[in-house]
Amino acid sequence: MPRRTVYEAKVEFVQILDEDGGFDAKLGKGLISDEEVVALYEHMVTCRELDEIAFKLQRSGRMGTFPQNKGQEAAAIGAAHALTKGTDWLVPCYRENAALFMHGLPMHYILLHWMGDERGNQIPDGLYMTPQAIPIGTQMLHAVGLAWAAKYRGEDRIACTFFGDGATSEGDCHEALNFAANLDLPVVFVCQNNGWAISVPAKIQCSAPTIAQRGLAYGMECVQCDGNDIFAMVKVVRDAAELARRSHRPTFIEAVTYRLGDHTTADDARRYRDSAEVEMWKKRDPLIRLRKYLVDRNQWDDEKERSLQADAKEQVAAAVKRAEEIAAPSTTDMFDFLYAQLPDQLRIQRATLRTASLGQDPTQLEGGIEASRQQDIEETVSERPVTKP
């Protein structure tokens, strides 16, 4: 039988604003207004300030480990700007603070999370986002489920999920891609390829020329873009969102970026990264790039920068103050926020703060149980007011 080609494909790379501030006017025309660019830059600077302060909070023992977002702000902000706030789902991993804030999450929630307070994961009503996902790749399946539900209900809503290059080596990733493509689900998959899966370089994670092409195996649209170019991010995510709404088809986006900090504050990237590589990527910093663009167009100057820096410090300081001043969680929170109506056996455990057989039958306690505790068991535990973070 004669040979014939049954499949051919290509993956395009999209860049609109290069690292020197050069702008592709044709591709970027009408993409983001001047006012929007200024607002996005201001937001980016504020999020960078939070990143620096969070790092210092960890180093001073006031917070647990923290994964810096430094260097990857444009990928998250560009995606968030292209999506519909209050409608589309944001399903993050743990370097998308900037996107979550843009869609309404109060800044101190992120600090609470990394301080070990679960109330930082209590997403306020009306916000379409999930808590940060620490396990690698699991959130992609959640995004598929949310998009499936939206399609089933006939809602004009899509899900956008973020993950790193390392997550594409996880089975969860491929299950999510397979479900989304086969079921025609409105999902935008944003892979932030920052070059490293902790200490493992992307070239070992994936031997293919691009990570984006992994989506080709599932029959979905795939594109690679400059993840430090906010214009490119807005374009590719906006295109993907339009496809998802129109045809319920998923898109795989590979945003090529770089984490300028360590993987987390528990990591020391100097042990495995070449300092020359880091210096090269510092020149591609999305903040520096966007500021050049604004200055070249007389939209920004030193006075505005000083004012912005002062305002960012004030906003972040207020968020830190609010996170640190919130009342400590109660021991009984694990019971009070588990069920709408607490079962009898758990009411006993709540009153005695004992588990297993002693919690279920407190009369086994040597010497019995004092009257006040016994009364707690016999009476219905009154509802406690919820402490909002």
Q: Does the annotation count 259 as an active-site position?
A: yes
**Which residues have C-beta within 8 Å of that of residue 31, sequence separation ≥ 6?**
16, 231, 234, 235
Q: H-helix or E-strand containing 319? A: helix 302-325
The predicted pLDDT at position 39 comes to 98
Q: Which one from 48, 81, 259, 350 is the annotated catalytic residue? A: 259
Residue 284 CA: distances (Å) to CA of 18, 71, 388: 8, 9, 40
Q: Does the annotation count 7 as an active-site position?
A: no
Q: Which one from 59, 270, 272, 306 is the annotated catalytic residue? A: 272
CA geometry: angle at 200 spanning 198 and 206, to 5°? 120
pLDDT confidence band for 17 (50 / 70 / 90): very high
The predicted pLDDT at position 372 comes to 46
What is residue 14's three-state secondary structure? strand
Residue with tokens 């210096």, as numbered in its chain: 279
The two tokens of residue 137 are 């790749």
Average pLDDT of the chain to the nearest whole number: 91
Q: Which CATH superfamily is domain 12-325 in?
A: Thiamin diphosphate (ThDP)-binding fold, Pyr/PP domains (3.40.50.970)
Q: Does the annotation count 263 as an active-site position?
A: yes
pLDDT confidence band for 387 (50 / 70 / 90): low
Mean pLDDT, to the nearest integer, of 36-62? 97
The predicted pLDDT at position 363 comes to 58
Instruction: For the chain, give every domain's residue range.
Output: 12-325, 333-378
Mean pLDDT, to the nearest integer, of 210-225? 96
pLDDT confidence band for 362 (50 / 70 / 90): low
The two tokens of residue 300 are 């920004």
Phi, psi of 174 (to 5 degrees): -70, -30
Q: Is the dihedral of CA 228, 230, 231, 233 positive or negative?
A: positive
Mean pLDDT, to the nearest integer, of 163-187? 97
Mean pLDDT, to the nearest integer, of 175-182? 98
Q: Which of 90-104, 162-176, 248-262, 335-349 has the lowest mean pLDDT?
A: 335-349
The answer to whether residue 361 scores a pLDDT higher than 60 is: no
The answer to whether residue 344 scores a pLDDT higher than 90 is: no
- 85-114 residue pLDDT tens: 999 999 999 999 999 999 999 999 999 999
Mean pLDDT, to the nearest integer, of 222-227? 98
How far is 27 from 148, CA to CA, in rounded Å?
Answer: 32
The predicted pLDDT at position 314 comes to 98
pLDDT confidence band for 371 (50 / 70 / 90): very low
The answer to whether residue 64 scores a pLDDT higher than 60 is: yes
The candidate with the shortest Cα–Cα distance to 241, out of 203, 186, 190, 195, is 186
Q: Determine contact, residues 25/31, Cβ cutoff 8 Å.
A: no
The predicted pLDDT at position 125 comes to 94
Helix pair 138-153, 171-182: axis angle to 10 deg: 20
The answer to whether residue 359 scores a pLDDT higher than 60 is: no
The predicted pLDDT at position 87 comes to 97
Alpha carbon 122 to its chain's center: 15
Q: Which of 22-31, 120-129, 279-288, 377-386 has the lowest mean pLDDT?
A: 377-386
Q: Which one from 248, 263, 273, 347 is the annotated catalytic residue? A: 263
